[in-house]
Chain A
Amino acid sequence: MARSKEALVLLLDVGPSMHGVLQEVKNICSTLVHKKLVYNRSDEIGIVLFGTKETCNELAKELGGYKHVTVAHDIKVVDEGTSQALQNLPAGSVPGDFLDAIVVGLDMVIRKFGNTKGKRRLCLITSTQYPLRDPPEGTKEDQVDTIADQMKRHDIKMECIVFTEPGVHHNSVMEENDRLLYQFRNRSVAKVVQVDSPTSLLGALKTRNVLPVTIFRGDLEVSPNFKIKVWVYKKTAEEKFPTLKKYSDKAPPSDKFASHEVKVDYEYKSVIEPDKVVPPDQRIKGYLYGPQVVPISSAEWEAVKFKPEKGVKLLGFTDRSSISRHHFMKDVCLFMPEPGNTKATLAVSSIARAMHQMNKVAIVRCVWRQGQGNVALGVLTPNISSVNNVQDSFYFNVLPFAEDIREFQFRSFSSLPSSSQPTEEQQEAADNFVKMLDLAPPGREVLKPEFTPNPMLERFYSYLDLKAKQPDANVPPLERCLRRITEPDPDVIDQQTPLIQNLGKAFELKENPKKKKARTQDRLAYIDAGDQAKSAAETSAEKDGVLGALYPPSENIGQIRDLNPVQDFEAMLAKRSSSTWVQKAIEEMQKYTAALLENSREGDNYQKALECFAALRKACIIEQEPEEFNQFLTKTYERLKDNAANFFQLLSSRNISLISKEEAPDSDVTEEMARSFYLKQEAASQ
């Protein structure tokens, strides 16, 4: 819909402090592009990089300054070019200035759209570690104010994602930068989020823009003569896996405009005369009541059914403790005071704060729409705003009715036989385990739902993109950052090894010999037939029984296969549990790439090899192994420069050269050497 068409400029910091997470920045932005290619085909995206060695932007050309800001992609309707531009994110070598980038981005938007209306957004991803250059006149604060005014005037919003590597200490520079960003927020033009792990970086950017829609606007009736005007929005709503259409291959291949869609047709036939189709107007609904079927037409049903009046009514307040958390039934709503209504804002604010102080909640009965066939009973809990310009509000959760609760009885733990009760020693092991495997040390909670991406959807959209290019591609393995969501962090596991072993030692688990083994395995773990055979062979040597079989290696890690070499390589790197994997991955990748080039016929493998080189280079920068790459590149070049000269031209054109000191301190190659690598070699050979 044109109404929600959006123009977005990504302002990406590629300076040295971001090198470790460039892959994630690339991934998250790619997912955003992929989703737009599915859902918002007409949205426009521009990409600005800062912290680059080069400078390339209109402002620099016209006014000078604005150095190290590169417009990598002009604001254009999303297409393959957009995702291509993201694929080749260069690692920049210069500390970037995010204010410059914001101004460049803003300038792009204003140049392109002028005063026309529409949704415009800037999205800044930066580490805020480097000082900003001082403005020629006034203070940085003044500058921010000027920019914020401009943004307001053109109705441009900004999202700032600040990435701080764990372990980096906050210094005065970062504090100043953060303060400046929060100044944008206080001017209500920006939203700032802080993340500290690659995984949460993936979750920090909203990759799909949903226009918030109210589900109710009206009165919250405290009593017949006291009402508060509220708007109700969804606070959480599940983003679904896209519903794929059924594919029909019947259309001739020559038909370019074939829809390939499948229509599903339903016919209703009498059980007595299976050949006779009953027309829709001759159908009547039968409601089951025990073995009986009670036919009632919809008109009859309409006359007798439950028809509550629209409205939200307060039943009363109760102690928070009388509502169990596990009784929340659905996704959550937010009750906001009517925007611009000060009295409603005050009423909501005072009740919310009183509820908060007294530890109370409100029980309400809601009928959102006239004609709704049922009522929702729910609980309002206070949401006290911590930000000055955001109003206080209530969260609303649906509670179950009496019919929805099943009162199953379970044996109380205290009456269990002593064989099922933990001993003191075991209890202590469990206590220590719970204490140490802490995901939320003060101020550093990991895997917050707010910043945790959906691994299934991330994987689907990247697979979708892959499949669009290679229709026979296999499902890629889960990326390293996403695996932090589905599996415990190996670093933490390594740290806590003794503790974890202790827990394992304290408790003895045995498979029930009476139950069939194969069945247990089937039931207790998702294992492919292939995996199963493999894991059985692997584990029988070291572990016995079902426990070993429960842990099959999830992928065939350790091999670089033809189908998806780069992904296999990344999967190997991701398996960081031991440092030997990195070495092994690099070796395997070098072997594979070399073989690829040697077996190339007329350059047919060049594209793939190029990707491999790029991946290898990037990995060697991240893993601080520049020598590995530089030697490999030099050797390969020496060996094949005559047979595969075109290939090296290709590499050269993509800036895939030696890794320089600037990119990885361990390297002894200067930037100059890297740039002239191909030239010099050519010259030398001539």
Chain B
Amino acid sequence: MAHGPMKLVCRCLSHTVGPSRFAFAFLPSPSPRSRTALAVSPPPSLPRSPSPKPHRVSRIFQNPLPAPQGPIPRSESGAMDLDPEGIFRDDSDEDDDNVQEREATKEMVVYLVDASPKMFTPATNQADEKGETHFHTIVNCITQSLKTQIIGRSYDEVAICFFNTKEKKNLQDLAGVYVYNVGDRDPLDRPTAKLIKDFSCIEDSFMSNIGSRYGITAGSRENTLYNALWVAQALLRKGSVKTVSKRILIFTNEDDPFGAITGAVKTDMIRTTIQRAKDAQDLGLSIELLPLSRPDEEFNMSHFYADLISLDGDEITEYLPSAGEKLEDMTDQLRKRMMKKRRVKTLSFAITNDVCIEVNTYALTRPTTPGTITWLDSLSNIPLKTERSFICNDTGALLQDPQMRFQMYNDMVVKFSVRELSEVKRVSSHHLRLLGFKPLDCLKDYHNLRPSTFIYPSDEHIFGSTRVFVALHSSMLRLGRFALAFYGNSTRPQLVALVAQEEVTSSAGQVEPPGMHMIYLPYSDDIRYPEEVHVTSDDAPRATDEQIKKASNLLKRIDLKNFSVCQFANPALQRHYGILEALALGEDEMPDIKDETLPDEEGLARPGVVKAIDEFKSSVYGENYDQEEAEAAAAKASRGDASKKRKAITDAASLKSAAYDWAELADNGKLKDMTVMELKSYLTAHGLPLSGKKEALISRILTHLGK
């Protein structure tokens, strides 16, 4: 069943507010003064982004905060809590793993893209691929990755650099290397909306503006690969390797870049290029290769690149993409490879008292939220700083951040120090402690609280960890067991199930990595029994075999073939970033985001499906259900239970209320002697609101009596 476009969410705009020009679609800003402010140019201290529409400039600007390291909203001092009220927090509160990960090291990447004519020849021989080139594949991949990055990791910096180009553009003025950039962005900088937009259509103008040629040719002493590495290394000079992870990613389909030349020149060039790469690696830059194979000619690592990125025999196979049969698969593989694995934590995993291994944890699934917000002054659009102060409720004195906490207990104040509280939470001396094993069917569907965490062994600190892990992993898989362990997390120590995951691969590369998933188990107090709330003494109705058969037929009919968890984009998030992107680029048209999560109405309307549904419906609901429902609804509307009840109450109230002479009571000031119930009877009888304290009720009665 296909999930085609159902409807455009954006229609609400064009339908309800007329022209879909975004500027008009906006409601007036809450502070009318901000409109006038738009015409005024921003204060001189604000760096301005050049935009053809000056009236937009003050609305959208480069972030002027001097905080290149790490996300602004979580400044280390903690003084800038941008969302103190927690409005933007997800329903489930932030889990610590997520936060930790976000604060992990920042990344700087240089994409080195081979632009030799070989990259521009059709990548496959198949006619149906429309002669797409490897260059096209790479541009697609980088664009996708930039889009993900601007949403999730916008503090990472990126540079795009072509080599084997006709034109040259780089600080060192080296031939055949072109550093691509837009606007006033630094060559290595955070990605901007404009960069993504312009880069995604670079192919249209590439040949005319940058040009492609073979850089390393017999006769010329030029070494464009060497130049490219040099430029990349120079770009990555900023920032310390201690806090920033720096990578150079080389995209090429040429496995033998020095194939065109021979003799001493060749050996010399190879030597200097490899030396260049070694120097870069010694400086802490990692060089990775994303090779592209052609169907007729597999990329051969051992020609040159294995030496360049210093791989051992074992690792070469790891590097190779599975045959590039389908370009789509290749795009997938490249996209996955471009993503840097970020580990959340390193844990010790105590298997027995003597065997304790080391594992790394990774967050493979975490809800993506619409990102952080920052408060601005609506008059000037300048960011605001949040200052938090603590005030004593009793004396009004200003306090330093208080270190004591208290809990009301039996109407007493019980004080705790922060240290004592953290000690209470420390119930285990280990990170992860194995308790034993259980068959997989002991893990129920409702044993879940939070997204799982992935664990993969590491030999970094303790040699031999991987071997123990692999052995346990395969035993658990074979015996169908999961491990029960205690995770001594400092905020919420918890029982976890470690479920072994077998590696799953497809033509698009690894689908499920091998390792274990850590599933957070509930405690007894976390499990509720809502199914037992409405029990009756009689047996609950159960479906008959006939009904189950009809249901089975329905299940077969409405079948999602090839369902995969990650096939749906989050419509709310897509829309959010669609709007932001349009605004950031100064576009007036609002993007059309389709909601992929709506049911396939077309599919459901197919006769076979309709028939199966109808059959099932009449088998459980009876033949005349719709009619009965309609009648019941009509009957309810005419004399619904609720309205009947309401009427009875009003009647009773008027009866009760009639027992008093309200005007006289009011005149004699006796109303305050009456009970609230009696007062309410008057209010009910006259259809007045019943809310408020006694005084409010009395004054309402007086008003009604006209006194």
Contact = CB atoms under 8 A, between A and B. Distances in A.
Contacts of A238: 449, 492, 522, 526
A465 B559 CA distance: 56
Contacts of B393: 248, 259-263
Interface stretch (A3-11, A346-354, A623-631, A669-677): A346-354
Interface stretch (B102-110, B201-209, B580-588): B580-588
B27 interface: yes
Contacts of B565: 322-324, 327, 399-400, 405
3 smallest beta-carbon distances between A and B, as pairs: A350-B543, A233-B530, A244-B405
Contacts of A328: 445, 448, 451-452, 519
B341 A308 contact: no
A434 B472 contact: yes
Interface stretch (B241-249, B506-514, B673-681): B506-514
A244 B376 contact: no
B471 interface: yes
A684 interface: no
Nearest to B12: A307
Nearest to B452: A326
A478 interface: yes
A401 B573 contact: yes
Nearest to B65: A271
A292 B586 CA distance: 12
A290 B150 contact: yes
Given A325-B499, A408-B364, A212 B528 contact: yes
Interface string A270-297: 1110100010011111111111111111
A413 B357 contact: no
A329 B495 CA distance: 17
B559 to A, nearest CB: 6
Nearest to A327: B565
Number of contact residues on A: which range applies? 35 or more
Nearest to B415: A247
A390 B447 CA distance: 20
Interface stretch (B129-137, B159-167, B343-351, B687-695): B343-351
A437 interface: yes
B78 interface: no
B366 interface: yes
A218 B378 CA distance: 42
B60 interface: yes
B552 A408 contact: no
B427 interface: yes
B575 A305 contact: yes
Interface stretch (A114-122, A131-139, A455-463): A455-463
Given A263-B393, A427-B475, A485-B486, A509 B355 contact: yes
Given A303-B27, A431-B475, A286 B375 contact: yes
B414 A467 contact: yes
Interface string B413-424: 111100011011
24 contacts: A235-B528, A265-B388, A268-B386, A272-B43, A282-B379, A285-B376, A287-B580, A294-B580, A298-B30, A328-B452, A330-B451, A354-B549, A365-B597, A375-B597, A381-B445, A390-B531, A408-B364, A409-B336, A420-B459, A431-B479, A457-B525, A486-B433, A508-B464, A512-B460
A262 B598 CA distance: 48
B420 A468 contact: no
A553 B519 CA distance: 28
Contacts of A340: 534
B362 interface: yes
Interface in B429-472: 429-431, 433-439, 442-443, 445-452, 454, 456, 459-468, 470-472
A408 B339 contact: yes
Interface string A380-415: 010101001111110101011111111111111111
B309 interface: no
B412 A332 contact: no
Given A411-B318, A520-B461, A390 B427 contact: no
A672 to B, nearest CB: 40
B399 A250 contact: yes
B428 interface: yes
B372 interface: yes
A460 B424 contact: yes
B543 A349 contact: yes
Contacts of B569: 401-403
Contact of B536 (A188, A208, A290): A188
B366 to A, nearest CB: 6
A197 interface: no
B531 A383 contact: yes
Interface stretch (B118-126, B188-196, B267-275): B188-196
Contacts of A415: 314, 317-318
A336 B531 contact: yes
Number of contact residues on B: which range applies? 35 or more
B373 A326 contact: no
Given A80-B410, A206-B525, A437-B437, A412 B514 contact: yes
B353 interface: yes
Contacts of A221: 599
A152 B27 CA distance: 58
B435 to A, nearest CB: 5
Contact of B524 (A206, A267, A283, A475): A206
B527 A450 contact: yes
Interface string B567-578: 111111101110
A510 interface: yes
B461 A286 contact: no
B495 A413 contact: no
A179 interface: no
Nearest to A343: B621
A427 B469 CA distance: 10
Contact of A259 (B364, B394, B531): B394
A451 B573 CA distance: 39
A314 interface: yes
Contacts of A682: none
Contact of B568 (A255, A373, A401, A526): A401
Given A404-B367, A460-B424, A488-B434, A426 B406 contact: no
A390 B154 contact: no
Contacts of A326: 364-365, 452, 454, 499, 501, 517, 519
Given A258-B394, A405-B565, A427-B474, A395 B446 contact: yes
Contacts of B3: 315
Nearest to B418: A244
A235 to B, nearest CB: 5
B649 interface: no
B390 A239 contact: no
A297 B378 contact: yes
B387 interface: yes
Given A239-B526, A454-B523, A270 B27 contact: no
